[in-house]
Amino acid sequence: MAETHKPPEKFTLRLRRYDPEAGEAPYWDEHTIELEPHRSVLEAILQAKDRFDGSIGVRCSCRQAICGSCGIRVNGEPALACHTHLDAAKRSAKDGVIEIEPMGNMPVLKDLIVDMDAVHWKKIQRVTPWLIASQPVPEREYIVSKESMVDVTQTMGCIQCGACVSDCLAMEVDPGFIGPAALAKAYRFVGDPRDDEHEVRLRDLAEDPQGIYDCTHCFKCVEACPKDVNPMGQIMRLRRIAGNDFGIVDQNNGERHEAAYTTLVKDYGLNHEAELLPRSYGGNSWFGKFHPAAGKELLSSLPIVIKGVLRRKVNIKIAIFGHKLPKQDLKAVQAIYDKVEGRKERYELNLYITGEDEPKEEAAPLAAAQSSTEGSAS
């Protein structure tokens, strides 16, 4: 706690200013403030507003990472202003100046204030964010076991700050994507045993071209979330339940892709790329490539395939027959498949809930996978 006693220091902020109503282009403004290094970026912005320019637009309320009002970008990364220490922000700044911008993927109303209604809340509403209770509704409260609810507590941690929406890379190219926050919210009800519409919800989200299968698996939301909600992990759970438990075969090739990939690794031990593509479009068997949907796709990819073959990038033998593990090893891999997939229930470990059972080992600082507390499913 020694850090909390450090004397005030000077920090320079570079604020992105923009007032759409003024009709002028956005510009950068610099202010130097003085605060103890452990204080927050929000306090710095408020000091700048207080001392130098009252017109700086910023939204905030609780100042303790609960209300989710002060989502911004600090040095290009989404964050809660009240949850980011000044010293850390300065260290991650390129030139020592802390760069502060409004969140992305949402229109700016003024300076650091974005229009959450136009994007974030609209998407939340899209997933029917309330319980559709199983009938008959009990006279008093629903009684459910603790174990059956513990799984959804992670998504309940969401404070609707929009940090994940701000930097969603799928939304960046496809603004209609339902997005991480709303899909995490959807899992909150799909995982709730009291909800009666799991299948309807999942079918809707799987069939929507901008639903669960539009997530590009970039981990941006996992990292952006100040509450470890792990939105991408929740999206993967929605996919897992939709495909495996409800057998929903969507029009977006999502389930087919997952099934084809998993089957090909079982059959070959390695990924067989040339089979994966047609099967994702045409269905999970060797005959998938003869399905009209696969034919159309293959035809459109033909120029690239030919180029690949001519450049000897694509080896025809591998393209047709794939590469395989040695027999003995392939058998071992298939035995793992049989055993794990033969279980009555899927075994999932969520580190958000279980935590780590052993302390990190100081001796292995270079180990690639240092445990963290954030979520598990991918």
Partner 1 sequence: MKVAYWPGCVSRGFTPELHGSMARVAPLLDIELVELDRACCTGAGVIAEHNQELADTLNARTFALAQQVEGAELMMNICSTCQGAQSECQERLDANAEYRGHVNETLSAEGLSYEKGLTNKNFLWLLVEEIGLDALRARVKRPLTNLKVGPFYGCYIVRPRPRLGIDEEHPRDHYLEQVIEALGGTVIEYAGMRKCCGFPIITMNKEASLKQAGRHLGDAVDADADCLVTPCPLCHLNLDMQQPLAEGVVGRELNMPVLHLPQLVGLALGLEPKELGLSRHVVRPVSVIDWSTSVVGAAAPAGGW
Which residues make Cβ contacts (< 8 Å) with residue 328, sequence separation at least 6? none
Cβ distance to partner 1 smaller for residue 69 or 84: 84
Q: How near is the Cβ of 61 to partner 1 at its closest, in Å? A: 28
Angle between helices 254-268 and 273-282 (to 10 degrees): 140
Q: How near is the Cβ of 184 to partner 1 at its closest, in Å? A: 15
Cβ distance to partner 1 smaller for residue 122 or 313: 313
Q: How near is the Cβ of 142 to partner 1 at its closest, in Å? A: 28
What DSSP assignment string belongs to 344-357?
SS-----HHHH--S
Expressed in angstroms, the distance from the first to the final Cα of the chain is 35
71-74, strands of its sheet edge to edge: 27-35, 9-17, 98-101, 71-74, 77-80
Q: How far apart are CA 148 and CA 83, in angstroms?
A: 31
Is the link from the previous residue into 136 a cis peptide, with omega within 30 of 0? yes
Cβ distance to partner 1 smaller for residue 4 or 354: 354
Q: How near is the Cβ of 71 to partner 1 at its closest, in Å? A: 18
Give the position of tokens 């075969």.
249
**Residues forming beta bridges with residue 73, ordered by sequence position:** 78, 101
> What amino acid is encoded at 376 in this protein?
S
Cβ distance to partner 1 smaller for residue 31 or 283: 283
Q: How near is the Cβ of 283 to partner 1 at its closest, in Å? A: 13
Q: Give SS3 for 99.
A: strand
Q: How near is the Cβ of 1 to partner 1 at its closest, in Å? A: 20
- Identify the DSSP state of 40: B
Q: How far apart are CA 42 and CA 34, in angstroms?
A: 13
Cβ distance to partner 1 smaller for residue 39 or 239: 239
Cβ distance to partner 1 smaller for residue 66 or 169: 169
Cβ distance to partner 1 smaller for residue 69 or 155: 155
Q: How far apart are CA 341 and CA 3, in angstroms?
A: 51
| Distances in whole angstroms, Cα of residue 310 to Cα of each of 188, 275, 277, 374 | 50, 19, 20, 46
Closest CA to 181 of 204, 157, 199: 157
φ and ψ of 255, to 5 deg: -65, -40
Q: How near is the Cβ of 197 to partner 1 at its closest, in Å? A: 23
Q: How near is the Cβ of 303 to partner 1 at its closest, in Å? A: 7
Cβ distance to partner 1 smaller for residue 53 or 273: 273
Cβ distance to partner 1 smaller for residue 155 or 253: 253
Q: How far apart are CA 333 and CA 342, in angstroms?
A: 14
Q: How near is the Cβ of 347 to partner 1 at its closest, in Å? A: 4
